[in-house]
Structure 1
Amino acid sequence: MASTSSERPSSSCSISRLHYDVFISFRGEDTRYDFTNHLYTALLGAGIFAFRDGENLQRGETIDSELTKAIEGFQGQIVLPVFYHVDPSDVRNHTGPFAINIAHGPSVNDERIQKWRDALRLVGHLAGWHLNQRDLVGMESSGKEMMDLVNKRLKDVLFIGIWGVGGVGKTTLAEIIYCKISQGFYDKSFIYFKHDTETGNLVSYQNEVLKHIFKREFDITCIYKGKQIIKKMLCGRKVLIALDNVSEKGQLDAIVGSHDWFGQGSIIIITSEDKQLLVTHDVDDIYEVKPLDNSKALELFSWNAFKQAHPENDFVDLSNDFVKHAQGLSLALECFGSFLHNKEIDVWKSYLCELEENSEGEILTKLEIIYKRILDRNVKELFLDIAFFFKGMDKNRVANILNDPSYLANLAFLPNNSLITIFQGKL
């Protein structure tokens, strides 16, 4: 977990606060020499002076007071948790390995246990990044092939399209590539289009792209004027822009009209179900995301249903049946697996019967069965609100708009069941 100072410390602060820009707090030798080391090196390479916590704090010792203060937002600090091969819901709810560690750890007093529980609950509710093995299943080869296209860099400005059917993993692949190459860009923006975007609403996306890049608010009210501003302000800048779920030519024309809108070295990533749309916009390369083969599909399903790479012995045949119904689509595999996690075998059989009755139906019909089964009225309403109004919006901003005390609890339920994703704090 990294905490960054949002303002310069006063002269009364300690030497360490004056000296370091970022504190990295982590646990586990496997992360020290792998993920944490890469993060530390990348921060230094970007000119950010980072301090690695965990060097002196051994397992079972009292929580670092600096980390506790950072979690509480002490003196303007921002905390950015990275859940590396850890489920945030386990952190929040003290389940899985966290329940075992607390229940069977060293003998400690109740007050100390409560401090750990409170700290875990705080961290588990913070917006951050969830990196898990299941996120990469089936994406290894796609990611490598996409990076090969990016690295060709035959032109000064690269437009690259990601095409495939709905639910196949286009957004996930775009996010992976965006994260891989984003460290080479100071100016960047990731935009998620809603399915019902109207022409009049495109100015809000123009404003959002410019806000991401220039770190200030814009007040564009006319699409044509917005095009002029984007071209004028970005034509000399090396930018990374990702546009997800593009369905209309007007969306591209409004934000990434042509190659000459951007500076040398810029990369524009576009995901769409419409290949002709990408061809018409003169993208340089189009990468097709194909459904997972049976082996990878079973592995992805298993990570969601069993939190491991393969099914439990009593569930092998049933797992293969669900994989067949998912048709290789990542979204369906994640939804099926998440719904069935920790369910009794009778529930599996009952749900499979429902799917068999709809065996000729579209995959969306099958996913609707999950939607009806697992969501209560309040969660359903939140799910629909996100789908129609809040997709791509910061989750904290949505909290302020809804002003609903049950928002966080309901929101936590949706990604845990693979019904939505939260990427860099955005829904």
Structure 2
Amino acid sequence: MPETPEDSGAYGRIHEVFLSFRGEDTRASFVSHLSASLQNAGIDVFKDDESLRRGDHISDSLLRAIEESEISVVVFSTNYAGSPWCLNELGKIMECHRTIGHKVLPVFYDVYPSEVRHQKGEFGKALEKLQERILSYVNEEKALREAAGMSGVVVLNSRNERETIKNIVENVAHLLDKTELFVANNPVGVEPRVQAMSQLLLQKSSNDVLLLGMWGMGGIGKTTIAKAIYNKIGRNFEGRSFLANIREVWRQDVGQVNLQEQLLSDINKETKITIHNAESGKNILKKILCYKKVLLVLDDVNELDQLNALCGSYKWFGPGSRIIITTRDQDILRGRVDIVYTMKGMDEGESIELFSWHAFKQASPKENFTQLSRNVITYSGGLPLALEVLGCYLFDMKVAEWENVLEKLKRIPNHQVQKKLKISYDGLNDDTERDIFLDIACFFIGMDRNDVIHILNGCGLFAENGIRVLVERSLVTIDNKNKLRMHDLIRDMGREIVRANSLKVLEKRSRLWFHEDALDVLAKETGTEAIEGLALRLSINNATCLSTKAFKNMEKLRLLQLAGVRLDGDFKYLSKDLRWLCWHGFPLKYIPTNFYQRNLISIELQNSNVQLVWKEAQRMEKLKILNLSHSHSLTQTPDFSKLPSLEKLELIDCPKLSKISHTIGHLNRILRINLQDCISLHNLPRSIYKLKTLKTLILSGCSKIDKLEEDLEQMESLTILVADKTAIKRIPFSILFPSNSISSLIKILKIYKHNLQQKQKKFPYDYSIKLVDDVATDVANNMIIMSLLNGT
């Protein structure tokens, strides 16, 4: 029988972590607690036993242990370099890093990175004692040279040791890709289907590439089973990637490129590769994937172009790779995969159990509900989505209410799944909850939950409670990035509700989301006050010109989403009730003065042509979100004193933005400021340090910003500060040696040297001693992460 990926292991890897340290100057408790915490997290650890050390050279068994480990955690301490054994060990670790992709995480224990880099302090004295031997190790293994640039963790405060160890474990888990996908709260029927798929994955030998297609109707559980199989066998591959919701992402701007970049990022976690277009992305994928044994899941594929862009041919993948494709369209798979696994509905026993978990919060029906439950299951056709939605709807209802629902189900033909799901929509408490559901179904899928709550609260819809109810009813889900998600069948059910209210007269519908319908109404200027939301997303590269008069009669328009559209005429025609303006590729140099904006909650003008935001600023009491990212002509920020309620400011990739208005200090409610890749920005106004509410400040890629002021200490709510790829050479003293609680609040501080590689080429010995610059990649929660780059 061919070898299974699950049994074969990941190319001879036996241990997950090799722990290297010098025990005499790292407290035994730290290393012991670190080792125990790693093991408690389900991570296999090989801990070097100092009692077995003899002489200067490590044993063959120890060399094998390093080779057979996926990652090494190296605890650098004051006298680490004084141990030939440790240096020998490090030499082997870095050789494996260079030759077989062995990962390395340095931990700096009671020693500053600058001391290691510049051979200062006690660490420098230890190096001097073994100068000749060190050079021989460098020449032989080039260990210290290769170690330069590794991401690491600084441990300076023993009082936070427990939190520090927790963060190290999280970082190791990330590098090992231990994170599993959420499958289901009640995974009824999952295991037998996973077992069946596992057998199909053995149909080819372990050295062959195999493509497996999963086919079935929407809501039958394809994604759930794909996630479960991904979790079960994923770590036996050199790289793995789960690309979810491909149908949805593909339609978005640069969606194709984003999927390709995500795939590369998942497979090559330590290297970020930028893709400029889908065609070049194919070549990059082909070159990188062919060297690795990968597990790739392509979820919800509905076009051949998607397969061509993400898994062009067998030759793209290394020996032993497995590619799983989920789809509703069997034609997509015909002639392109080795095996097709047909998803079937749940049998009666599985249906009863899944339904019961949602309807009764237990594995079987309550007394007096057994037959009623069987009747509901009969009308659900074994479809897990319908069982879940109906079960959540019927939870805590009385027998008479159940009987009423069953009467409705009897009148709906078995193939009309959406109408069955609509019963749950009809059972929502009031029109407010129904409006929230319809707004999400038509406009807000994939958006940040908090942003949507702000927008809908501005519409008077009490969205926080409403979204909670929708989640409880399984009509909406929230992913691990706080984005709103909705199953396609439920989304289509919501949109059909809107469409059914006016089947033939488009302008009498409350919401227009389909581009042909929206374009028809705008082009003919037939809009009415019935329209509350409109989305028209066309190609930004070839904008369609329309008249502002098309909005003249849309007096109740709350939500407007445009892309690839140019409006000519007087902006006074746009509704004064507008709460959300999302206009990608906004074509004007500034927002027109005669456009009434005082009720807007969110302005999102990504990829715009604005040079100024407003020529004559209006006081906007309600505005909470301002997003001008990728506005390449923007030269200055607005007068923030006119925006007293602003909570979120996004200015990513505004290359001509050279100055932030000093009025930013007036933003007394601001929570997040993102200035990533504003490459012309030289400094921050001193007033920014007065922001007491700011939680997140992102300066990543602001290459001309060279310092942070000591006033940073005043930002008492700051919890995330990201400053990689800047010219910052010195960390404020107030962060290194804080006088207040900021030391327990700073989660991430990343400082890079922009020209590091060039300097390392000029000074190879300095390169060999430098053990860290990129200090904090994905290290989180309650510790100061710092890198003292230029000897500061």
Q: TM-score, normalised by structure 1?
A: 0.66
Name which of 331, 338, 343 aligns with 1:284: 338
- 2:203 maps to 1:152: yes
Q: State the Cα deviation string for residues 82-115 of structure 1 (Å, max 9, x = none).
A: xxxxxxxxxxxxxxxxxxxxxxxxxxxxxxxxxx
Partner of 1:313, secondary structure, is: coil
Give, in whole Å, the separation in 1 of the partners of 2:46 and 2:243: 24
- 2:244 maps to 1:192: yes
Q: State the Cα deviation string for residues 122-144 of structure 1 (Å, max 9, x = none).
A: xxxxx986676831x23333222
Q: 1:368 to 1:278 in 2, by over 3 A?
A: same
Give, in whole Å, the separation in 2 of the partners of 1:130 and 1:290: 21
Give how far 1:257 is off: 0.9
Q: 1:359 to 1:49 in 2, by over 3 A?
A: farther
Give how far 1:189 is off: 0.8
Aligned residues: 338
Name which of 464, 473, 484 aligns with 1:417: 473
Give how far 1:412 is off: 5.6
Greater percentage in helix:
1
Name which of 437, 457, 463 aligns with 1:380: 437
Q: Percent identity?
A: 31
Name which of 348, 355, 362 aligns with 2:409: 355
Give, in whole Å, the separation in 1 of the partners of 2:480 and 2:266: 12
What residue number does 1:306 align with?
A: 360
Alignment of 1:115-126 (within 5 A): none
Shifted more, 144-153 versus 258-267: the winner is 144-153
Give how far 1:157 is off: 0.8
Asked whether the equivalents of residues 246 and 270 of structure 1 are also in contact (C-alpha less than 8 Å), the reply is yes
Q: Letter of the aligned partner of 2:294 in structure 1? A: V
Name which of 290, 297, 301 aligns with 1:242: 297
5+ residue gaps, structure 1: 1-7, 26-38, 51-65, 82-126, 391-397
- 2:403 maps to 1:346: no
Q: Letter of the aligned partner of 2:221 in structure 1? A: G
Partner of 1:237, secondary structure, is: coil
Q: 1:174 to 1:67 in 2, by over 3 A?
A: farther
Alignment of 1:20-419 (within 5 A): 20=36, 22=38, 24=40, 39=42, 78=170, 134-135=186-187, 137-154=188-205, 156-196=208-248, 197-198=250-251, 201-215=255-269, 216-280=271-335, 282-359=336-413, 362-374=416-428, 376-377=433-434, 379-380=436-437, 383-384=440-441, 388-389=445-446, 398-399=448-449, 404=454, 413-414=469-470, 416-419=472-475
Q: Letter of the aligned partner of 1:221 in structure 2? A: H
Asked whether the equivalents of residues 197 and 341 of structure 2 are also in contact (C-alpha less than 8 Å), the reply is yes
Partner of 2:334, secondary structure, is: helix
Give how far 1:331 is off: 1.0
- 2:53 maps to 1:14: no
What residue number does 2:542 align with?
A: none
Give, in whole Å, the separation in 1 of the partners of 2:294 and 2:415: 43
CA RMSD, Structure 1 to Structure 2 (Å): 4.3
5+ residue gaps, structure 2: 1-19, 48-67, 74-158, 174-178, 486-792
Asked whether the equivalents of residues 378 and 410 of structure 1 are also in contact (C-alpha less than 8 Å), the reply is no
What residue number does 1:395 align with?
A: none
Q: 1:290 to 1:262 in 2, by over 3 A?
A: same
Q: Letter of the aligned partner of 1:310 in structure 2? A: S
Give how far 1:357 is off: 3.2
Q: 1:401 to 1:235 in 2, by over 3 A?
A: farther
Give, in whole Å, the separation in 1 of the partners of 2:380 and 2:161: 43
What residue number does 2:538 align with?
A: none
Q: 1:138 to 1:267 in 2, by over 3 A?
A: same
Q: Letter of the aligned partner of 2:301 in structure 1? A: V
Query: Which protein shows a greater Rg?
Result: 2
Asked whether the equivalents of residues 382 and 411 of structure 1 are also in contact (C-alpha less than 8 Å), the reply is no
Give how far 1:409 is off: 6.7
Give how far 1:321 is off: 1.5
Partner of 2:362, secondary structure, is: coil
